Amino acid sequence: MKKMRAAITGVAKYLPERVLTNAELETMVETNDEWIVSRTGISERRLVSKDQATSDMAIEAIKDLFDQTGVTAGEIDVIIVATVTPDMMFPATAAIIQNALGAKNAWGFDLSAACSGFLFALQTGASLIESGAAKKVLVVGADTMSAIVDYTDRNTCILFGDAAGVVLLEPTEDENFGLMDHMLYIDGSGAHALHQLAGGSRLPASAETVANKQHFIYQDGKAVFKRAVEGMASASSDILKRNQISGDDIAIFVPHQANKRIIDVAAQRMGLSPDKVLLNIDKYGNTTAATIPVGLKEALEEGRIKDGDYVVLAAFGAGYTWGSILLKWGPIRSK
Residues with a known catalytic role = 115, 256, 286
Taking the least distance from each CB to ligand COA, the nearer of 40 and 83 is: 40
Taking the least distance from each CB to ligand COA, the nearer of 138 and 313 is: 313
**Interface with ligand COA includes 65 (CB under 6 A)?**
no
Alpha helices in 42-168 (DSSP H): 54-69, 93-101, 117-130, 154-157
Taking the least distance from each CB to ligand COA, the nearer of 93 and 286 is: 286
DSSP 285-312: -B-GGGHHHHHHHHHHHTT---TT-EEE
Give me the residue whose beta carbon is nearest to ligand COA. Answer: 221
Size of residue set near ligand COA by CB under 6 A = 20
332: nearest Cα among 173, 172, 181, 94: 172
Which of 123, 172, 236, 259 lies at the binding interface for ligand COA (CB under 6 A)? 259
329: nearest Cα among 306, 313, 301, 312: 306
Stretch touching ligand COA by CB under 6 A, among 12-20, 128-136, 183-191, 222-230: 222-230
SS3 226: helix
**Interface with ligand COA includes 82 (CB under 6 A)?**
no
Task: Give the shortest CB-298-to-ligand COA separation in angstroms.
Answer: 20
Q: What is the dihedral sign for C-alpha 45, 49, 52, 58?
A: negative
Taking the least distance from each CB to ligand COA, the nearer of 236 and 286 is: 286
Alpha-carbon distance of 143 to 153, in angstroms, equals: 19
Stretch touching ligand COA by CB under 6 A, among 181-189, 220-228, 237-245, 304-312: 220-228
Q: List Cβ<8 Å contacts ≥24 apart for 22-28.
A: 22/158, 25/157, 25/158, 28/151, 28/152, 28/157
**Interface with ligand COA includes 286 (CB under 6 A)?**
yes
Taking the least distance from each CB to ligand COA, the nearer of 34 and 51 is: 34
Binding pattern for the stretch 16-35 against ligand COA, x by CB under 6 A and - elsewhere:
---------------x---x
Strands 137-144 and 162-172: what pairing?
antiparallel
Task: Return phi, psi of residue 263, to 5°.
Answer: -65, -40
**Interface with ligand COA includes 158 (CB under 6 A)?**
yes
277 DSSP assignment: B
Q: For residue 5, how many other CB atoms are within 10 A of its CB?
A: 21
Judged by the rule CB under 6 A, the positions of this chain that interact with ligand COA are 31, 35-36, 39-40, 115, 154-155, 158, 221-222, 224-225, 228, 258-259, 262, 286, 316-317
